């Protein structure tokens, strides 16, 4: 990123896929100056499976459906940095947005998520 103050944008959503709740999201780091070099990563993870974790139940509802975090990483920040101003299900992220030399394969974030509340009822037979 050549120290060009990358903007970090993280988005996450939880959606139901049959018996499972799936967390999906993106992490984007984009330079603030020409040539606007951009790193884009995606993630997908199963966070709950009613068939495995609550057999005999059905979903009534769940909360904690989405979240985001936006941050400016600063000039020439070559350190893993904590950003705590997430909202929704994203509490915070610790990110490396610039390195000395080639950034390819070396940038990323570790994201801390908040709770997702699942409301279940007995399944109708």
Tell me which residue of 111, 84, 96, 109 sits closest to 1, measured CA to CA: 96
On the question of pLDDT at 16 being above 70, the answer is yes
Separation in Å, CA 48 to CA 14, 22, 26:
10, 7, 20
Rounded to whole angstroms, the maximal C-alpha distance in the chain is 61
pLDDT score, position 103: 77
On the question of pLDDT at 45 being above 70, the answer is yes
Q: Summarize pLDDT for 71-120 with one digit per residue, the tens.
A: 998 877 888 999 999 999 999 999 998 888 787 888 899 999 999 999 99
What is the spatial distance between Cα 77 and Cα 79, in angstroms, rounded to a whole number? 6
Do β-strands 57-63 and 38-49 pair in parallel, antiparallel, or remain unpaired? unpaired
Give 2's pLDDT tier (boundaries 50, 70, 90).
low
Q: Which helix (H) or strand (E) holds 39?
A: strand 38-49
Query: For 1-125, where are the alpha helices, taking DSSP H only?
Result: 50-53
Single pTM value for the model: 0.88
pLDDT score, position 85: 92
Chain-centroid distance of CA 80 in Å reads 16
What is the spatial distance between Cα 103 and Cα 106, in angstroms, rounded to a whole number? 5
């Amino acid at each position: 990123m050549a120290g060009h103050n990358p903007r970090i944008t993280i988005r996450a959503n939880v959606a139901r896929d049959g018996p499972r709740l799936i967390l999906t999201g993106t992490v984007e780091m984009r330079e603030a100056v020409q040539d606007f070099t951009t790193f884009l990563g995606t993630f997908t993870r199963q966070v709950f499976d009613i068939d495995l974790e609550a057999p005999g139940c059905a979903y009534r509802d769940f909360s904690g459906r989405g979240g985001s975090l936006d941050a400016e990483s600063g000039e020439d920040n070559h350190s893993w940095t904590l950003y705590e101003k997430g909202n929704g299900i994203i509490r915070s992220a610790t990110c490396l947005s610039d390195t000395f030399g080639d950034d390819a394969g070396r940038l990323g974030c570790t994201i801390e998520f908040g709770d997702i509340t699942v409301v279940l009822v007995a399944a109708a037979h």
